[in-house]
Every structure is written in structure tokens, then in C-alpha cells.
Amino acid sequence: MTNFSVTLILLFSLLLSHGIIELEASTNQPYRTGFHFQPAKNWMNDPNGPMIYRGIYHLFYQYNPYAAVWGNITWAHSTSTDLINWTPHDIALAPSAPFDSHGCYSGSATIRPGGRPAIFYTGSIDSFTNQVQNLAVPKNYSDPYLREWLKYTYNPLISATRPIDATSFRDPSTAWLGPDKRWRMLIGSVIDNKGSAILYTSKDFKHWIKVEQPFYSDAKTKMWECPDFYPVSTVYQKGVDTSIYGPNIKHVLKTSLNEPQRDCYMIGTYDIGQNKFIPDPESSLSGDSGLRYDYGKFYASKSFFDSAKNRRILWAWVPESSSEEDNKKKGWAGLQAIPRSLWLEKSGKQLVQWPAVEIESLRLNEVKLQNRFLQGGSVLEVSGITAAQADVEILFDVIELDRAEVLDPSWTNPQVLCSRKSALVKSALGPFGLLVLASKGLEEQTAVFFRIFKGQDKHVVLMCSDQSRSSLDNTNDRPTYGAFLNVDPVQERLSLRSLIDHSIVESFGGGGKTCITARAYPTLAIDGDAHLYAFNYGIEGVSISNLSAWSMKKAQIN
Ligand code: DQQ
């Protein structure tokens, strides 16, 4: 090879690795989704500024227009009338000014009085990723699609002041209006090694003053990304506007903690006079019992109040578990989870999440099984559906609860317990659940299952999603996820719902009390070769009192 051709090859690889040129995305695309939102190509991460405006749902998201890796970050934009089918629009915000020259990072939308939306977003301003906060407003409020956005002339509106480090200062939350007519908004940071949400207040939405002490901070956490703060009703499942404050309301403070990526939340009281959030005594961010929206892959989430249907909807980014090299080959990376309704559980101690009801309009050809006994060590195929693109709900009846294995008090970490007791490890009651994205010979399978233990004074239910055999290609990350499920199996049946979509499995245990989202990249269980099974590898039998499975139609996801 001549020196010239070596130089050309080197130059080509350099441009490719920096995302400056792209290869045509591969046409063999078994992992693209049928009903989970994703752009036609390239990199996507956080959901940004979700809202409803004049009956149209808006989703913006962090997007690299040039490659399947993070970089050149803009706000891409799509709209929908049903949260399921989406129409893409031009990029809403792209680096264009000194206050966002190195990227338009995450942020939120606020609907101001009179129904006027505004966006606050983080601008990355240099190659050190110093960050500031900027305002953008619609160019034309009479356009329900809000296709054009104007960046405010006097941006940045908020810059970091000591002791805040400007490289850790980002992701403004939706703002809320207090009874004193002052706006409030949170920005994520880490101050003196404590992960923090910093509160800013404003009378006019333009001039913002920092409140001296953090709204909340936690020494056991590092950088807080994408803080979200909102009220939930203690009396009904309906959502409430972000500015609601008063009786029958509790507040939720969510933070996205990096390394490992987790969306954690606390439930508590908002003291508006003291500008503070006071978590309930049993609500904490750290430790094995800290609450998470989802115990699998689910990050940088953001909620909004859907005033058309009086519900709070949650969006989140679901990253890939495949290598960067594979992402470049397939030409895309990143999904959005199915938008979920969320509300406070009856006990007031945790949230419940459930896929937005609109998703059910994609269900086709229900397959139903009732009162089927699953002997210990058995597998039952659920045929008659497109198992690579499906929605399945299963309800288990467990009779022999007395025989449950005793829970060792040292088993406090459910994820470790799920890894130790993988889908193949037999105990008295469990594992039982679903094998999804499974190949005919079960060489590949993602196992979503329960195990029941006898705790000190009650039964303890463990929910796991085991990806260790999800793909024969071991270059993919194949973790096992797990969490405890706060359901007493003496009082109620155990339910599981999984949304299966080619390379993503979103599972909801106990009606949405515990959620686990996983990525899987089967090499055999693809499209028509994917199978779905109910299984029970435990010693004791369990009954399926009901199973309903549907093929899912393809949605317009861009
Ligand atoms: N992603 C954005 C940041 C945010 C992070 C950059 C979270 O604004 O902190 O793409 O995934």
C-alpha cells in the first residue's frame, strides 16, 4: 500500500470516529423498535421539554444530527396527538450563539399563565463544557406545532456563581409559580462534593436569583443531573399541575445520578416558605432501599402535567447495551421508554407507573390463557402473537406460600440477589415469570420473573430481569437487574406486564409498583424467530390465573 492510501484510510477513520462523516446505516436492522420512540438515525439521549400545547404533545430530545455517538448536541423535535404516533420537525435548538456554542444540553418546558410555553435549557459554552442557562420562546404562538424557537437576546439568564463549578451546572427543571407569584426552578449540580438541586426564583421569568442554601443536597451522591420536582395527589391517581401547592398534596424530587446511571426519587413535603424539600423519614436516595423509577436502564427522565387528560406523564431515555462500534454500524443509538402515567401509591410511600393507556390502541389478536397450572420445572409457549413486538400481561396465583425459602437477612441488595439466583437457580417458589425474546431452543432468552421468600414477619417478593442469556453475542452488556416488589402475595395475586419491542423489554410488576427496563440483542430470536414462554423453574407449582398477550402494531415513531 502506498503512503498516500494509508494516509487516506487514516483520515477516513478519523473523520468516521469523530462523527464527521457517516456510513449509510446498515439495512439489516433487527433491533429497531416497532412502537418505542426513536429517530430515523443517529444518537438520541435525554427527553427534553415534554409538554402539551393546544392539544398537541411535544417531545424534544438530545440529538446528534451527524452520528450514532454523543456529540454536536441539539434539541430535536417531534409532535403527536396520542403520545404513540409521532411526526418529526426541524431541529428546534442548535448551537448558534456564544451562550450555547458547544451544545444545547437538557432542559424543560414551562407553560406560563395564558398558556404561553417557554423553554429553559443549558448551553455548553466552551470545550471545557462550562454551562449556563438559557431561555427560548416560540416564534409563533399560534402554531400548535411550535416549529420555530427564538433564543432570548439577553441569554444567558443564569450563570454559575461561587461555590458552583460551571462544568457541573445544568438541566433546569420545569418552573413552578408559588402563591407569592414568584417563579421557582431547580438546576442540577454538585457543591462541595454533595449532589445538589439549586433553587432559583424570579418575579418575571427573566431575572433569576439563587437561593443561598440548596433546595436539597446529599453528601452520599455526586453530580445531580436532570432534577425534576412536582406535586402528587394523596387522594387520587390523577396528576396535578406543577404549581399546585396545598392540602392533599405530597411532592416528589427526582435526580438522575450518573455512574451508574440511576433515576432516584424521594417523596416528601415542600416547605415553600423555607424554600426546602423535606423527604419523608423512610424516603432516602441512598442505600439498598432507595426508590427508583426503574431498576434497569432508564435515565435522565422528565415528567410533565398533561392538562388534557389530568395525568402526569413520565419520559425517559433508554440507552443501548451494545458496543459503540455496533451502534455506529447500525447507525443509531438510544430509545425513549413508553411514556408512563405516574401517581402516588395508596401507602404514600412510593409511586406507581403504568404505560400510557394510548399504547393499548396498538394491540392486535389477543391470545388468552386462563387457569393453567405450571408445574415446577415447566415451560409453556404462548403462540399466535408476534413475539418480537408484543404486549403481555400475566397474573399468577401462588398457593403453597408456606413453602417459601427463608430470606437471609443479609440479602438486602435485590440486584445482587437476582444475579446470584439467576433464572436457572431453582428455589421453592420461583423463579416463575416470562421468557421473552427467546429462541426456539431457548439458547437465547430474557427472563423476567418473581421469586418469593419468607421474610421476618411477611413474605418478600423479588422481581428480576435476567439478560445473561439474552444474546449469543457476548460483546453486548448482559446485566441482571432486580428489585423488591411491595406486594403481599397472601393478599393479592402477582401480576407482570412486559412490553417487548425487538431490543427492549419494559416490565411492570404488581401493577407498576416495580419497573425494570432492559435491552437485549438476540442473534437467533429475531422477528418471526422470536418466541414467548411462561415458565416456572421453581420446585412448587404456580397457577396462571390469566394471561393475555397481544401482537403490537407498528407505530409511527418518526
Ligand atoms: N445529558 C445532557 C446533559 C445531562 C445529561 C447532555 C444527562 O444536559 O446532564 O446531553 O444524560
Beta-sheet strands, E only, within 319-388: 332-333, 335-336, 340-344, 351-355, 363-374, 378-381
For the segment 86-108, the average pLDDT, to the nearest whole number, is 98
**Residue 9: left (phi > 0), alpha (psi -120 to 50), or beta?**
alpha
Residues linked to residue 373 through DSSP beta bridges, in sequence order: 543
* C-alpha–C-alpha distance, residues 93 and 103, integer Å: 9
Nearest to 17 by CA among 289, 382, 329, 359: 329
Is there a catalytic annotation at residue 280? no
Answer yes or no: is the C-beta of 318 below 6 A from any ligand 1 atom: no
State the Cα–Cα distance between residues 519 and 504, nearest whole angstrom.
Answer: 5
Contacts of 9 (CB under 8 A, 6+ apart): none
> Cα(362) to centroid of ligand 1, in Å?
31
pLDDT band of 25, cuts 50, 70, 90: very low
Helix (H) or strand (E) holding 6: helix 3-17
Catalytic one of 46, 100, 306, 391: 46
**Domain boundaries defined on the chain:** 39-355, 362-552
Task: Report the nearest atom of ligand 1 relative to the CA of 256.
Answer: 7
**Whether pLDDT at 535 is above 90:** yes
What confidence tens digit (pLDDT) does each residue in 477-506 have? 999 999 999 999 999 999 999 999 999 999
pLDDT band for position 285 (50/70/90)? confident
Overall average pLDDT of the 270-292 stretch: 89
Residue 387's identity, in one-letter code, is A
pLDDT computed for residue 21 by the predictor: 41
Listed in sequence order, the residues at least 6 apart from 94 whose beta carbon sits closer than 8 Å to its beta carbon are 65, 74, 75, 104
Which set of grid coordinates corresponds to residue 44? 438520541
Q: Whose CA is nearest to atom 6 of ligand 1?
A: 105
Cell digits of residue 284 = 432516602
Length of the chain: 558
Whether 403 and 451 have beta carbons less than 8 Å apart is answered as: no
**422 pLDDT tier (thresholds 50, 70, 90):** very high
User: Which of 123, 111, 134 has its CA nearest to residue 50?
Assistant: 111
**Taking 90 as the threshold, does the pLDDT of residue 287 lie above it?**
no
Residue 15's pLDDT is 43
CA of 225 relative to ligand 1 center, distance in Å: 7
Residue 46 alpha carbon, nearest atom of ligand 1: 11
Q: Is the CB of 187 under 6 A from ligand 1?
A: no
Q: How many CA atoms lie within 13 A of 24 on its CB side?
A: 2
Mean pLDDT of all residues in 351-369: 98
* Residue that wins the pLDDT comparison between 259 and 34: 34
- Summarize pLDDT for 199-226 with one digit per residue, the tens: 999 999 999 999 999 999 999 999 999 9
Mean pLDDT value across residues 540-547: 97
pLDDT at residue 8 above 60?
no
Indicate whether 5 pLDDT > 50. no
Instruction: Look up the CATH superfamily of 362-552.
Output: Exo-inulinase; domain 1 (2.60.120.560)
Mean pLDDT score, 114-137:
97
Q: Round to whole Å and give the CA distance between 293 and 513.
A: 9
Ligand 1 and 46: CB distance under 6 A: yes
Task: Identify which of 160, 52, 155 has the alpha carbon closest to the alpha carbon of residue 104.
Answer: 155
Tens digits of per-residue pLDDT, 442-466? 999 999 999 999 999 999 999 999 9
Residue 169 has pLDDT above 80, yes or no: yes
CA–CA gap between residue 319 and residue 262 (Å, rounded): 12
Residue 261 alpha carbon, nearest atom of ligand 1: 11
Residue nearest to atom 7 of ligand 1 (CA): 300
Tell me phi and psi for residue 94, to 5 degrees. -135, 155
What pLDDT does 1 receive?
A: 41
Percentage of residues in the chain with pLDDT exceeding 70?
Answer: 95
Going by the DSSP 8-state scheme, the letter that residue 308 receives in this structure is T
H or E stretch at 410: none
Q: How far is the CA of 317 from the centre of ligand 1 (A)?
A: 10
Find the range with the poorest average confidence among 5-9, 340-344, 428-432, 502-506: 5-9
Buried b (16+ CB within 10 A) or exposed e, 65-82: bbbbbbebbbbbbbbbee
Q: Return the best residue to mutate from 105, 187, 190, 335 for the ligand 1 pocket (most ligand atoms within 8 A of CB).
A: 105
CB 63 within 8 Å of CB 73 = yes
105 lines ligand 1 (CB under 6 A): yes
Our answer on whether the CB atom of 62 is closer than 6 Å to any ligand 1 atom is yes
In 179-321, which ranges are E strands?
183-191, 194-202, 209-210, 216-218, 224-233, 249-257, 262-271, 276-279, 291-292, 299-306, 311-318
Contact yes or no for 194/222 (Cβ under 8 A): no
Largest CA distance in the chain: 78
Task: Please give the average per-residue pLDDT across 153-181, as a whole number.
Answer: 97
Does pLDDT of 20 surpass 50?
A: no
Mean pLDDT of the chain: 94
Strands (E), 116-204: 116-124, 131-138, 149-151, 158-159, 169-170, 176-177, 183-191, 194-202
CATH topology of domain 39-355: Tachylectin-2; Chain A (2.115.10)
For the stretch 213-217, contacts whose Cβ atoms lie closer than 8 Å and that sit 24 or more positions apart, written own/partner, are 213/275, 213/276, 215/186, 215/253, 215/275, 215/276, 215/277, 216/253, 216/266, 216/276, 216/277, 216/279, 217/191
pLDDT at 9 over 60: no
Is the CB of residue 460 less than 8 Å from the CB of residue 482?
A: no
89 confidence band (pLDDT: 50, 70, 90): very high
Residue 543 above 60 pLDDT?
Answer: yes
Determine contact, residues 74/95, Cβ cutoff 8 Å. yes
Q: What is the pLDDT averaged over residues 412-426?
A: 95
Q: What is the pLDDT of residue 26?
A: 52
- For the whole model, what pTM was predicted? 0.94
